[in-house]
Structure 1
Amino acid sequence: MRIIIWIIASTFLFSVIFTQRHRRPVFTCGGNLTGDTGLIGSQGYPGVYPPNNKCVWRITVPQGRVVSLLFRALDLESDSLCRYDFVDVYDGHINGQRLGRFCGTTKPGALVTNGNKMQVVMVSDANTDGSGFLAVYSAIRPNESAGDRYCGGLLDEPSGTIKTPNWPDKDYPAGVTCSWHIVAPQDQIIELKFEKFDVERDSYCRYDHVAVFNGGETNESRKIGKFCGDSPPMPISSDGNHLFILFLSDLSLTADGFIGHYLFKSRSFSTASAPLTPTSTVPPTTPPAALTYSEGLCKQKCKRTGTIESHYCSSNFVITATLISAAMRDHSVLATFSILHLYKEGSLAIQQAGKTMSTKVTVLCKKCPLVRRGLNYIVMGQTGEQGQGVVSPHNFVMAFKTKKQRDLGVLKNIRC
């Protein structure tokens, strides 16, 4: 009798231990998660997730670490634009940059934040279809090797490499966002060069693209350029000691991807050997070694003088272009133009991605000429030592209208 009781008790105890060790986790709608690692899943996973729902998970790992999120399973209603049921992943808890939106059954690779916080949001509409998602988060070091992480992160070494996921073995995956924040010492700038570049081509880079920003975040007013196609952009230099690179692929076509290298460089302080002054209404035929702001230059009345014909030969570059961004400074504007037509190139530095060309131009006096984003202009100006365009009140800038295209075409054929 005692043997029978012992067997029954042992069997019950083993059953309890086995059940505790193999109990399936129960996933609820959202929550606050902390610690070095953990699991998150859609409500009721692996059962069908509920309709008309929004769940928010906020992940916090120890200070000094960043969050890596890896999807183990993904099964949501499929849509090419993820308009119905989807999972959004954000860098940070509040107003963070979205690292990606995902649906269907194609799992992205690991997503990595720049800080120690991540937010995951799942939304479902009235019609559900699938078992939802299961993901594991981990706390990792900010500068872990590229082999241990998917893409993106904080980079503060004097030189390094950035590349798309799967490079060079196969195409980058669909539906992924990677962001690299490069930080140099205060007295240095960052130079970025792309060795190989192949990103889905589009005239306006609306789909897969690389965007590069001055500073440590996405800020349209500080955007250096947006690139796609199969031609590497020209080398890029930051204005300060921060550079932010964002790569985004949508849920359709993919391509080989890219590999690029960055390098910290000392700031070059150049003194103007002949600052521009308002003593002449005719632009100089030879640009000075450095073109800088002078207070008197911007105090004079802003009035365009001369004609396209009178300025053509004395200008170092002549383009028609659309203003796509303008970063305000103390007295000047750093303008990025998307070039419509190049009539006179001179030594102007031009970035090219596929058939799209762009250039950066410093407008020395931010109100003269006054330019607005989204509008087309004829821009004539000089170039500095690094090939950057410079426009002063003496140069010629006006709104571009199609009827002027013929006049510029005639001038292009003259010998100055």
Structure 2
Amino acid sequence: MWTLTWIIWIPLFCSLGFCEAQQRPVFACGGNITGLSGLIGSQGYPGVYPPNTKCVWRITVPQGNVVSLTFRALDLENAALCRYDHVDVYDGFINGQRLGRFCGTARPGALISSSNRMQVVMVSDANTAGSGFLAAYAAVRPNARGKRYCGGLLDKPSGTLMTPNWPERDYPPGVTCSWHIIAPEHQIIELKFEKFDVERDNYCRYDHMAVYNSMESSDAHRIGKFCGDSPPAPIYSDGSHLFVQFVSDLSLTADGFIGHYAFKPKNFTIAGSPPPVISAIPTTSAPIALTYSEDLCKQKCRRSGTIESHYCSSNFVLTGTLFSAAMREHNVLATFSITSVYKEGNLAIQQAGKSMSTKVLILCKKCPLVRRGPNYIIMGHVDEQGQGVVSPHNFVMAYKTKKQRELAVLNNVRC
């Protein structure tokens, strides 16, 4: 009786559509994917993914839509910075902005592209562990709102942008959100933040929000990079586009932010003054010296100008402690342990854990005169090898706490 019941029950169960093992899709290594929605998965999912592979999925949805990708399962070898097995998600195809790199078992929030294309790349090394990933893609409208999504195209006269899960809980790890705000041709964009709480770091290397005066992320057009729990000062575009990008890594998270934008006429001013973020600072007229000369070092050593007047004319601006100084015949090779970077340029910065340092060549060993121990504000130029160079014309002074706010304001200036 028991045997008969069991034999009859199995076919009935499968005939009702519940025999999932017989209907599970077979996932190959990459491919070109089209359609309104569907699933992609690592090769052989949910079995252990193969070693030494690189699989590329190119997802295209109909024009006029963007791609939303949601991970339903993630189980890859876990490592710091996901340097072994990982899944990369890109906005678009070739040379697209990377939206995130993922490994381990912590699933990111929904990822959304800025166009109708998205690329997913999975890489495994010789040692594999886990069942890989399963993700669902869907075509959504660019202005789709809702707590599952973040980013998109914003072209209404005013609106709001917020991190995923706001305000109920912290934003998720491993997510990238990109908002492209487009105003009419003869208007600019005002962006204000009501609340702001993003993982704090002196250099905003981990979770951060960056704002660009362009249609995409571009270092040449970056207005500022923000983190911590203090809302940025109001931000103003210098044209009809702003690109706002929020990135969270795979570790700590926080409340996130809510911001509001509005279109303004180009001649818009605050209390009769130009918008502070896009106002340029006069540059110093002192010549730039990158090599030693006897005449240069014979000049009387006297600091001229102010932090403000030197900021835009300097390639790099940082605060740091003089850690070591190698004395040479005419100059000093100084190593600074960095406290904060306000302007980096192409300066070569060494990093060990969370400690950062840089080498700066002081062309004239007695001007500016620095000694080991104190904390300094250092402004200078960068040579072709990425080394900082400071001449008597540059601005160097002992750091004082009251200067922190002044430097923070300058950090939002577009030179």
**TM-score when normalising by structure 2:** 0.66
Helix, strand or coil for the counterpart of 2:82? Answer: coil
Residue 103 (structure 1) shift: 0.7
The answer as to 2:36 corresponding to 1:71 is: no
1:247 aligned partner: 246
Relative to structure 1, is the Cα distance of residues 357 and 27 closer, same or farther in structure 2, using a 3 angstrom cutoff?
closer
8 Å contact from structure 2 (residues 57, 120) kept in 1: yes
Helix, strand or coil for the counterpart of 2:80? Answer: coil
List runs of 5+ in structure 2 lacking aligned partners: 1-10, 270-278, 290-298, 321-338, 348-359, 361-377, 381-391, 404-415
- After TM superposition, the runs of 4+ consecutive aligned structure 1 residues lying more than 2 A away are 14-22, 290-293, 300-304, 306-312, 317-323, 335-341, 355-359, 371-378
- Structure-2 separation of matches of 1:173 and 1:120: 20
1:138 aligned partner: 138
Relative to structure 1, is the Cα distance of residues 319 and 63 closer, same or farther in structure 2, using a 3 angstrom cutoff?
same
> What letter matches 2:395 in structure 1?
F
The answer as to 2:376 corresponding to 1:377 is: no
- Structure-1 separation of matches of 2:302 and 2:17: 90
- Structure-2 separation of matches of 1:227 and 1:267: 25
The answer as to 2:261 corresponding to 1:266 is: no
8 Å contact from structure 1 (residues 320, 377) kept in 2: no
- Structure-2 separation of matches of 1:21 and 1:152: 37
- Structure-1 separation of matches of 2:222 and 2:301: 30
Helix, strand or coil for the counterpart of 1:81? Answer: helix
Deviations 1:280-339 (A, max 9, x none): xxxxxxxxxx9999xxx99x99799x9998976xxxx6448766xxxxxxxxx9x89757
The answer as to 2:118 corresponding to 1:123 is: no
1:368 aligned partner: none
> What letter matches 1:166 in structure 2?
N
8 Å contact from structure 1 (residues 322, 339) kept in 2: no
- Structure-2 separation of matches of 1:377 and 1:47: 55
- Structure-2 separation of matches of 1:19 and 1:372: 59
1:160 aligned partner: 159
**TM-score when normalising by structure 1:** 0.66
Alignment of 1:258-337 (within 5 A): 258-268=257-267, 318-319=307-308
- Structure-1 separation of matches of 2:227 and 2:288: 38
8 Å contact from structure 1 (residues 321, 337) kept in 2: no
Relative to structure 1, is the Cα distance of residues 247 and 83 closer, same or farther in structure 2, using a 3 angstrom cutoff?
same
Residue 401 (structure 1) shift: 3.5
1:399 aligned partner: 394
Helix, strand or coil for the counterpart of 1:260? Answer: strand
Structure number with larger C-alpha Rg:
1
1:352 aligned partner: none
Count of residue pairs brought into register by the alignment: 316
Helix, strand or coil for the counterpart of 2:264? Answer: strand
Relative to structure 1, is the Cα distance of residues 66 and 405 closer, same or farther in structure 2, using a 3 angstrom cutoff?
closer
- Structure-2 separation of matches of 1:146 and 1:25: 30
- Structure-1 separation of matches of 2:46 and 2:175: 24
1:151 aligned partner: 150
> What letter matches 2:227 in structure 1?
C
2:98 aligned partner: 98
8 Å contact from structure 1 (residues 60, 116) kept in 2: yes
Residue 398 (structure 1) shift: 3.5
- Structure-1 separation of matches of 2:67 and 2:76: 23
Identity %: 61
Helix, strand or coil for the counterpart of 2:23? Answer: coil
List runs of 5+ in structure 1 lacking aligned partners: 1-10, 271-289, 324-332, 342-354, 360-370, 379-396, 410-416
8 Å contact from structure 2 (residues 109, 173) kept in 1: no
> What letter matches 1:86 in structure 2?
H
> What letter matches 1:377 in structure 2?
M
- Structure-1 separation of matches of 2:157 and 2:263: 5
- Structure-1 separation of matches of 2:71 and 2:164: 15
8 Å contact from structure 1 (residues 176, 248) kept in 2: yes
Relative to structure 1, is the Cα distance of residues 146 and 401 closer, same or farther in structure 2, using a 3 angstrom cutoff?
same
